[in-house]
Amino acid sequence: MPSPPSSPPAPDEAPRTIRIEPTRGWTALRLGQLWEYRELLGFLAQRDIKVRYKQTVLGATWAVLQPVATAVVFTLVFGRLVKVPSDGVPYAVFALAGLVVWNFFSTSVSTASASLVSNTDLVSKVYFPRLSVPIASMIASFVDFLIATGVLLVAMAFFGVGGGWRMFLAIPVALLAFTVALGASLWLSAAMALYRDVRHLVPFLVQFGLFATPVAYPATLLSGSWQWLYSLNPMVGVVEGFRWAMLGTATDPWAALLISVGVAAALLASGTIFFRRVERTLADVI
């Protein structure tokens, strides 16, 4: 028996029409579009997570091996040979805590800054908020950060150190690290779409940043006015705050954290504005 013909669509089920208009002025950020396209953001994040370890033998184990292997090298060189102080905790777990949060920042900036160029076909042919591309890349890096944090907890249990109730404060510190990385990534991804020189500049900045951030040494080695100048690097407060929360070090990271919050907010706001300005002509220049 043939099935009855389907009823015609109701008036309220008419296809949705999206009118795309060029943005004007510095305030046309349209951040609400990110929520409207949240399903696409989730799809892009899942795709980046799958692609990151596709056709690899060790898979997500690389998220653990990188900080652990680097911490071993740092322990032998800086902990045993140079005798760098470690804020009263074993140097191995001191270095690992710094590397966990630094690797998240460096990986996020490296991958998100190249995300627009890597998705040229998608960006130039389909309309969607381009902010989704670098943000999705950073979400994939954040998954690696969570895995590496689990290894850090195991190391903390092995060495018998921990921050107790302070460990809950590591969550807002991690969100601050995400904010810093997102602000830097928005600047660099938009700039790389305009100038491919940025592709060669990013590895240099990441390498320089490793030594300009207290990953292998404590920030307490600097004092006086140098401490304030040093804290203008927003990752100084992030790394010091993360160690204070996770390891319970006897330091006072609040001044550096407040500076990091201010610099991160300025970096994110200016990066978002610059990204949206470049987005107007992104499909033509990328």
pLDDT tens across 227-284, in order?
Answer: 888 989 999 999 999 999 999 998 889 999 999 999 999 999 999 999 988 887 777 7
The confidence score (pLDDT) of residue 283 equals 72
Q: Could you tell me which residues come within 8 angstroms of residue 202 by beta carbon, excluding any fewer than 6 positions away?
A: 109, 110, 113, 114, 188, 192
The answer as to whether 141 is a domain residue is yes
The answer as to whether 202 is a domain residue is yes
The answer as to whether 208 is a domain residue is yes
Domain count, the chain: 1
The answer as to whether 1 is a domain residue is no
The confidence score (pLDDT) of residue 234 equals 95
- Which residue did the predictor score with more confidence, 2 or 65? 65
**Structure-block tokens of residue 47:** 């795709």
The answer as to whether 17 is a domain residue is no
The confidence score (pLDDT) of residue 3 equals 46
pLDDT digits (tens, 9 = 90+) for 214-236: 999 999 888 777 888 898 999 99
Find out whether 239 and 215 touch, Cβ atoms under 8 Å. Answer: yes
The answer as to whether 19 is a domain residue is no
Asked if the model's pLDDT at residue 26 lies above 60, the reply is no
How distant, in Å, are the alpha carbons of 38, 40, 60, 138, 184 from that of 144?
Answer: 21, 21, 8, 10, 19
The answer as to whether 45 is a domain residue is yes
- Amino acid letter, residue 10: A
The answer as to whether 68 is a domain residue is yes
Owning domain of residue 172: 31-283
What pTM did the predictor assign?
0.86
Closest CA to 40 of 160, 168, 129: 129
pLDDT digits (tens, 9 = 90+) for 43-86: 999 998 888 877 777 777 888 888 899 999 999 999 999 999 99
- Which residue did the predictor score with more confidence, 90 or 123? 90
